Structure 1
Amino acid sequence: MSKRKSMMGILTLMLLFVFSGCSKAGRYDDFTKEEQALSFQTKRKQTFGNSDYSKIATEKEAFQLVEEKYKLGIPAYYEETKELIANEIPSDTVKPGETLYAVFARNKELNFQTRYTFYKEEELQVVSEVSLNYEYSEENNLAYLRSQTVSIKIAPVNGGLPNDNLNRLVEKIGTNMNISNEKIMSGLAGYEKQVKESTSPITEEFLPIITSQKRANKNEAFNKLIAVGYDTNGTVRELYAEISE
């Protein structure tokens, strides 16, 4: 089992005792406006059914499926992430390629995926995936946004980020996730210290930079995680961020 799956599994077990609270109407009423902007919930009386909509051509079509067919909302975090990716990934030589959209419904779960690609001439350089994961609570007749993930993957085996801007990406993503600047800077300092003092190549598949558990801070309603993944040669392969219930 990968370290990412193991860590998230442990986190899930730790939060089972509050799971029922994730599905109650008005769950976000006591949270700050900034945290509420990361959330979505709506009354619903049926499951999402089972369907696959892959290779959706445009964002408009994808939004129509999510918002009109399934009556779900898309948080501001999605637009902020899209803007961040558009501004921070391309370079003078790396340009945006095709963007693909997909919606998968599986009974009580629905996943909306957006996949951005970036190329240097004909060679794929970066793939960035944004995933919104919704869940239906039959007990409470409620649909809510269970988690949001962002993944920025470096395609070439020996490649790197087009702008060599890992720290800036962490800062920008962390800000969009409503993580305090103090916590972002502290996480980056700890990460840089670990990299500098490591006597051998870091080969962690999933190395956390920032972790923030809800309730640890009264202003945070969600669990938040930013991590970096390495390959067996010690090369950074992925930047990963997650907001979850």
Structure 2
Amino acid sequence: METAVIQVNNLAASYQKNTVLHDVSFQVHSGTLTGIVGPNGAGKSTLIKAMLQLHPLLKGEVQFFGQSFKKAKKRIGYVPQRGSVDWDFPTDALDVVTMGLYGQIGWLKIPARTHREKAYAALEKMGMADYAKRQISQLSGGQQQRVFLARALVQEADLYFMDEPLAGVDAATERAIMTTLQELKSMGKTVMVVHHDLQTVPNYFDHVLFLNRTVVEHGRTNEVFTPEMIGRTYGGNMQWMGANANVVHSAK
């Protein structure tokens, strides 16, 4: 039987003594593109951070490729929320992407020409080659997000976590990001994305994880993305609109 790329068992996490995640258990297999959806405060970002040891666990176990995070971390790429990044840090787009290679370069070594070329190619893939020497503080929100995705791509990871990569970006950037994520999936990579727009879930993700402090449901999008499951996850008054799975959420 295939080893799960991600195995989470009974994960719990808190902020300032308030439990925000409890009894979270699920597994993810290779070559899947999963959207993590749920209401504000559901613990979506905390889940990713806890799995990647960026936030302490109260309890639970997380394995990647059957190993601990420490042993598997070179195979994992992460794109944080754009709002959590210090965009005033004095560095250009090419340097930001090159930072994704430091696991190969070594933190105290100077990047070689081949490393720079690899970083530039990743920027080019994301349509940002012309901005390689532009200070990141001078880029738009969508351009910044493309740079950070390029940094993740250059790692050539097997598993990617992305925290709201489509939040606040323009339509062209959204298309570029989703095209890239679909390409990663087609290459057998595994991608998990915190996502806020229910309307696009059926078109963007083949799997969906409904989260509201614990896992409400997890499975293939065409099987579990239903009005009932959305209602159970979000509460409030849900209105299902048409065969294209357009959803309007009206919270209580």
Q: Does the TM-score normalized on the shorter chain lie above 0.5? A: no
Relative contact order: is structure 1 or structure 2 higher (C-alpha 8 Å, sep ≥ 6)? 2
TM-score (norm 2): 0.27
* Structure with the larger strand share: 1
